[in-house]
Amino acid sequence: MTVKLNIGVLVSGNGSNLQSIIDSLEAGRIDARISCVISNNATAYALERAKRHNISAFHIDQRAFPSREAFDNEVVVLLRQHSVQLVALAGFNRIVTPVLLDPFPESVVNIHPALLPAFPGRHAQRQALQHGVKITGCTVHFVDRGTDSGPIIIQAAVPAYDTDTEETLAARILVEEHIIYPQAIQLFAEGRLSLRGRTVIIEPPPASGLLEADS
Ligand code: GRF
């Protein structure tokens, strides 16, 4: 039996990206398992989604910790207890510190609702509309010590219309998020992501074992 990659997912809100990962796992499109879901928000609907799928789900109350680092240390304790190898931020509304990043080198990923490096940080869809761009999108990237500044794994483009509100644009972007986040996680699970400088190289899929016949 092959040992599956253990994923820990950090969430704060609705958890539609968590759901897309769960659905992809259950459909066999990702060869891994979610070993725990952790939220800093007790009422995050994402926790309900996890429980419905019998995934261990935890709330860590950030108010109980004196610093970001102390909170992150508690997160790391839980991730280690669940043998997590890949940490996926999915609508996690906190900046993570080196306390969380260092134990998981090149193994923390995030989804951001803009075509980075445009519009990092909060309210990316609002920023895009205020700037008047015609195309925006979403980005899955490795997390580094900056804000939404890590190496880019996959991006998808989405049109922005002058009739858009923040909500209509966010909804159109989410459709693509739900496609590219599971894809990026499967590439990681297959060991097909490597870094050259800050460029993520996506290795070709392993050979199928079929050899071409000599002509
Ligand atoms: C998504 O737009 C994601 O890109 C951003 O936060 C939102 C989370 O949505 N980081 P959900 O909780 O996954 O539905």
Give the tens place of pLDDT for each residue, 129-183: 999 999 999 999 999 999 999 999 999 999 999 999 999 999 999 999 999 999 9
Handedness of CA 165, 148, 38, 1 (dihedral sign): positive
Ligand 1 atom having least distance to the Cα of 44: 12
- Looking at every residue in the chain, the average pLDDT score rounds to 96
Tokens representing 101 are 């990043």
Q: Which amino acid is at 210?
A: L
Q: Are strands 86-89 and 108-112 parallel, antiparallel or unpaired?
A: parallel
From CA 179, how far away is CA 201, in angstroms rounded?
19
Ligand 1 and 112: CB distance under 6 A: yes
Ligand 1 and 148: CB distance under 6 A: no
Domains, the chain, in order of start with CATH, read 1-105 (3.40.50.170), 110-215 (3.40.50.170)
CA of residue 210 to ligand 1 center, whole Å: 41
User: Span 10-22, mean pLDDT?
Assistant: 98
* pTM of the full structure: 0.95
CA of residue 77 to ligand 1 center, whole Å: 24
